[in-house]
């Protein structure tokens, strides 16, 4: 990628030098990309480089191996949402985990569309449980796109596709209520919305879904790297739990 001109979602920004910044952003067709923004810490540019914002991104590099120079023009600002603790925590988590675990320059158009939908939901949903459900589905999609998808279509013990009520923390497979008898406390409860059976789940169900995705993100994708990521997620889930109480 010697040059690129496209829309992108800002996922992470890191100060570089006295005035510049390194931007990491998700694009539809080029995947996660990085570039150096001259003056990225200035009063004019800093409000553009806010995680969650949609920007018109220009990248230019002399060689494929060189960090590209980047410019960004604001298309959609989500900065006002950062004044609210719960939406701010959600945007912080979903953008930072995307920047941290996706390999660069590999296209994930489904993830780009899903991340856009989550961010739109955070801004537009009437209640936290609605966008939190979208967030859980996004995490499930992250796992699947990176090769760690869960088998939620049939019981790992019986092979049947009915009565699915739990998820095994070891296999990532669904378990029917009958097969789980006596072992329920060792399993995650499987809320119907995770399998698309409930379009308007209760917040308690959403928290059950986030427990599942959080376990497998930690085990399979974070794996001791970027442990500070989990702090952002724990902050978010803690605030959601307080919203239930």
* Tokens at 233, concatenated: 């997620």
Residues in the chain: 245
Residue 3: Cβ within 10 Å count = 11
Q: How far apart are CA 149 and CA 239, in angstroms?
A: 27
Contacts of 242 (CB under 8 A, 6+ apart): none
> Where do the structural domains in the chain lie, given as residue ranges?
3-77, 80-244
Domain 80-244 falls under CATH 3.90.226.10:
no
Pairing of strands 54-60, 151-155: unpaired
- CA distances (Å), 206 to each of 29, 60, 201, 214, in order? 30, 42, 7, 12
Q: What percent of the chain has pLDDT over 70?
A: 96
User: Measured over all CA atoms, what is the biggest interatomic distance in the chain, rounded to whole angstroms?
Assistant: 62
Q: Is the pTM of this model over 0.75?
A: yes
Contacts of 55 (CB under 8 A, 6+ apart): 7, 8, 9, 10, 25, 48, 49, 72, 73, 74, 75
pLDDT confidence tier of residue 245, bands split at 50, 70 and 90: low
pLDDT tens string 99-150: 999 999 999 999 999 999 999 999 987 788 889 999 999 999 999 999 999 9
Helices (H), the chain: 85-101, 109-124, 128-145, 203-216, 228-244
Q: How far apart are CA 187 and CA 212, in angstroms?
A: 10
Q: Residue for token digits 């989990």? A: 230
Domain 3-77: what homologous superfamily?
Nucleic acid-binding proteins (2.40.50.140)
pLDDT tens string 177-234: 999 999 999 999 999 999 887 778 898 999 999 999 999 999 999 866 677 888 889 9
Q: How far apart are CA 31 and CA 216, in angstroms?
A: 23
Contacts of 241 (CB under 8 A, 6+ apart): 207
């Amino acid at each position: 990628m010697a040059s690129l001109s496209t829309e992108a979602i800002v996922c992470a920004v890191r100060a570089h030098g006295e005035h510049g910044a390194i931007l990491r952003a998700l694009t539809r067709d080029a995947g996660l990309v990085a570039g150096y923004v001259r003056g990225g810490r200035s009063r004019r540019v800093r409000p553009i480089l806010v995680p969650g914002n949609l920007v018109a991104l220009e990248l230019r590099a002399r060689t494929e191996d060189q960090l590209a120079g980047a410019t960004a023009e604001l298309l959609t600002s989500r900065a006002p949402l950062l004044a609210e603790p719960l939406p701010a925590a959600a945007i912080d988590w979903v953008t930072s985990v995307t920047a941290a675990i996706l390999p660069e320059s590999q296209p994930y158009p489904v993830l780009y569309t899903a991340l856009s939908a989550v961010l739109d939901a955070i801004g537009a949903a009437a209640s936290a449980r609605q966008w939190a459900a979208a967030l859980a589905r996004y995490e499930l999609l992250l796992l699947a796109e990176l090769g760690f998808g869960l088998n939620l279509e049939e019981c790992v013990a019986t092979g049947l596709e009915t009565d699915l009520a739990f998820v095994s923390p070891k296999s990532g497979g669904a378990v029917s209520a009958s097969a789980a008898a006596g072992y329920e406390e060792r399993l995650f409860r499987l809320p119907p919305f995770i399998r698309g059976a409930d379009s308007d789940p209760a917040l308690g169900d959403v928290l059950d879904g986030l427990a599942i995705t959080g376990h497998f993100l930690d085990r399979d994708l974070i794996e001791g790297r970027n442990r500070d990521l989990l702090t952002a997620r724990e902050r978010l889930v803690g605030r959601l739990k307080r919203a239930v109480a």
